[in-house]
Structure 1
């Protein structure tokens, strides 16, 4: 919704106005969050999602909620970092960030402009990627409940890598059918990697610790995005084209597809699952 409007503002008025409009709208959300959002289902008279119908109480926990968030985050990283599964998930998500936010999100519009496409048209295509992203994410969540998460990730990364390898031949001054198909596919595949990655975190690190582990995995996603944005910009400045950036991202996605195969499945055939922390002994008696 915002990208075409921001692109028009940047072209006709200036990039500062585009940035100010985004900032003003973000600040306008603050009172809405404070007034309308709740911290817990019980705050609005609801049970936690997934709680048994006959039980009005929140789902039981092992007491980790009493641990300070910073300590829980560091402990989760230390424990998870001892396993190869964590590094495989973090590494593949690093590449996910590289190939989405870092490359397409940052450089698709200038890359299309290099090929003669108007900025507003390229921004509209990027917005269309966001529209299909919603469909792809929901569909991926549905599939993750029914298909091996590793198989889904292999498919997503492999197809993404192959599509990036052909991007240079698709860009041009006009929107041709093959470029439109790339936009639709990339939108469907953009956040599709999240549900199976979350599922693998839950399978290997347990339900309670999976959120903390995925937080660290997602951090690697943003690190990859930052490095990719810098790398692609440097390539463009030094060579005058994004060719090497597209090829690098495509090759990395194919590498991610291969790396996912090294992650053990839910049956534990590859490696050993991380054991949940042992409960503290409880003293009984007077």
Structure 2
């Protein structure tokens, strides 16, 4: 509003100054026109009009000086910075996680069942099936099974030989077996198989659909509990010759096989009780119980066939 008033005063003062200046000139010319007729010249009128014009001009200059500068009349330096967009201060972002330290290379500790058994720095062992080393499989990724073997290691040989034999007979897909040192630590880390594959560059098929979990003896209950509580981790779970809690584990469940060898009566009864406790309480989850399958290696061969049925098979690596 004040800006409009000042502009109006400036216009009025400028018009008044121009009018008085014109009037002063006309009055002076009129007085000079009477000189040939010896008429008296009156200078007072001219001086009065000139003074009025000067006063009005001074007023116009004062009003013009009082007007605020127009936005586009900014000095060049100001205009240059004003043209740049003003950005809100950037929000502080959390620092990215520190990169994982380089992993020590795996150490080969044997070749059971013609595969390759390696030990990682944290004690985890990885068994690569014989097919992993085939030249024609150089660009093939394999499904992975996390296997919690018994602490004594008595079942390791049967495990590797059972899987390898079923593959050789064309009854199962080859699997990469990851054998953690402890069940509890790995069960808390949903990334464990993915971390092993990434850090050590093993060729494994990514995703839950190509991942299973297996527990043997003391590790059976831990494997089943982990898979049941976190079905997003594993497509299928297997317990071999384990004993299972009477209370139902939390979670929505995943497909489950409970297998026992011949003569393992306590494990057979525990598996049947556990299946009955779960029956009909978890939607379409499939629970199978097999017993009396003979030698332990044959049990593991049947497990390999079950996991072949449930998991995504080997696949070519798409670069």
Quickly name the TM-score band, shorter chain normalised.
under 0.3
Bigger Rg, structure 1 or 2: 2
The higher-RCO structure (CA 8 Å, 6+ apart) is 1
Higher strand share: 2
Using structure 2 for the length normalisation, give the TM-score.
0.20
